[in-house]
Amino acid sequence: MIAAMKSSVMGDIPSIGSEENWGFMLGQFKWVYAFLSPIGGYLADRFSRKLTICASLLAWSLITFLTGFVTTYDGLLMTRTFMGVSEAFYIPAALALIADYHVGPTRSRAIGMHQMGIYIGVIIGGFSGYAADSPAIGWQFAFKVIGVVGIIYAVPLLVLLKDVQRSSNLESEKTKPSVASALNALVLNGSFILLVVYFTLPALAGWVVRDWMPSILKDSFNIGQGFAGVSATIYWQGAAIFSAIGGGWLADRWMRKNIRGRIYVSATGMSLIIPALICVGIATTQGSFNMAIMALILFGIGWGFFDCNNMPILCQIVRPEFRATGYGIMNMISISCGGFADWGFGKLRDSGVPLSAIFGIFASVCFLSVIIVLLIRPRTIEELQ
């Protein structure tokens, strides 16, 4: 929402001042989110994934509601900071809970369906540019409405969501790791380190596409804020919906024949992201809106293949009691770097660096990530015992 409503927010809060400050605000959310992600993951592993998820939703919704009352840049920075706190506790716990329930041939598809929900949310958020342009609604009212909906939804979620029951007290104690044991199992795992790097490099481009693309399309093609917000989300997120489901199905089938099936599907997706980023840069520089949209669709296809397999690949190299913590560490490194990417992109835009050059750099980084993921060594179930 905040990306799609950028023009209205900056217009109503003149103290934001520059693209660099806007990028710093986006980065502030990510740095806090990143720093606390391992803590959120550890609490989900040590105590309850369900309670971690529900507390995160309640806090996130309250802060979203309060964002609707912000009138200064400092206030916006504060709400984005607390938003990062709440967000840090959700994703690691949610994906680990799904992995607990889907232990084998449906894992990638289940994760893909969850990611599909995120993509749908981003698409709906893309329409908020129209709400921001409407004098009867405005960007602040949109935040208030979404916040109230989330607060209400936290109640049935708390009642209906269930943690996986452990078979015995011994098993229950085994799945409550200490901080030292979790760090030892993860940091000394070479394949986990490779996965962290692989998870991080594409996120540099991913966050910029998500956070800046509405503004890029608006400025590059001289279109309205509402149309730019929808165009920047609906095409690549829509493509990601289908590719996350299709990529999950393909990865699950490939796993029946080859233990590296999920790695190969993820690498295939990353190989599609590379030309997509190059074409986005060329299209926005040369003024070809249709080319930009086609490139965003290709980006979405590749992103869905990548996104639905990160937790399943983690499950192939890390034991169950360390998965939420592991994903939290992945988030910490990836999202903190994504924050610097947002900030740096704003500085480059202020400096007049061509978009084709910026996206060319992102494409080169993604090429490196393809090599890295192929070096990961998945383990059998017996090896993870």
Flag whether 1 is in a domain.
no
Determine the pLDDT at residue 167: 56
Per residue in 151-178, pLDDT tens? 999 999 999 999 988 654 444 445 577 8
Flag whether 153 is in a domain.
yes
Flag whether 383 is in a domain.
no
* Domain that residue 105 falls in: 6-378
Q: What is the CATH number of the domain that holds 236?
A: 1.20.1250.20
How open is the CA angle 11-24-35, to the nearest 5 degrees? Answer: 135
Per residue in 162-221, pLDDT tens? 998 865 444 444 557 788 888 888 989 999 999 999 999 998 999 899 889 998 999 999
> 235 pLDDT exceeds 50?
yes
Query: Region 303-332: what's the mean pLDDT?
Result: 91
Predicted confidence band of residue 250 (pLDDT cuts 50, 70, 90):
very high
> 298 pLDDT exceeds 70?
yes
Q: Is the pTM of this model over 0.85?
A: no
Flag whether 219 is in a domain.
yes
Flag whether 358 is in a domain.
yes
Per residue in 373-384, pLDDT tens? 999 999 877 667
> 332 pLDDT exceeds 50?
yes
Task: Count the domains in the chain.
Answer: 1
Flag whether 54 is in a domain.
yes
Query: Region 75-94: what's the mean pLDDT?
Result: 89
How open is the CA angle 121-279-212, to the nearest 5 degrees? Answer: 40
Flag whether 384 is in a domain.
no
CA 277/CA 321 separation, integer angstroms: 37
CA 209/CA 213 separation, integer angstroms: 5
Determine the pLDDT at residue 3: 85
Determine the pLDDT at residue 382: 62
Other Cβ atoms closer than 10 A to 117: 12
Residue ranges of alpha helices (H) inside 308-322 are: 310-315
Residue ranges of alpha helices (H) inside the chain are: 6-12, 19-46, 49-67, 73-87, 91-101, 107-126, 128-133, 138-160, 169-174, 179-187, 190-221, 225-255, 261-286, 289-307, 310-315, 323-351, 355-373, 381-384
Q: What is the mean pLDDT of the chain?
A: 90
Determine the pLDDT at residue 383: 67
Per residue in 99-155, pLDDT tens? 899 987 889 999 989 988 988 988 888 888 888 888 889 999 999 999 999 999 999
Other Cβ atoms closer than 10 A to 101: 12
Residue 33: left if φ>0, alpha if ψ -120 to 50, beta else—which one? alpha
Predicted confidence band of residue 26 (pLDDT cuts 50, 70, 90):
confident
Q: Higher confidence at residue 382 or residue 372?
A: 372
Flag whether 263 is in a domain.
yes
CA 105/CA 108 separation, integer angstroms: 8
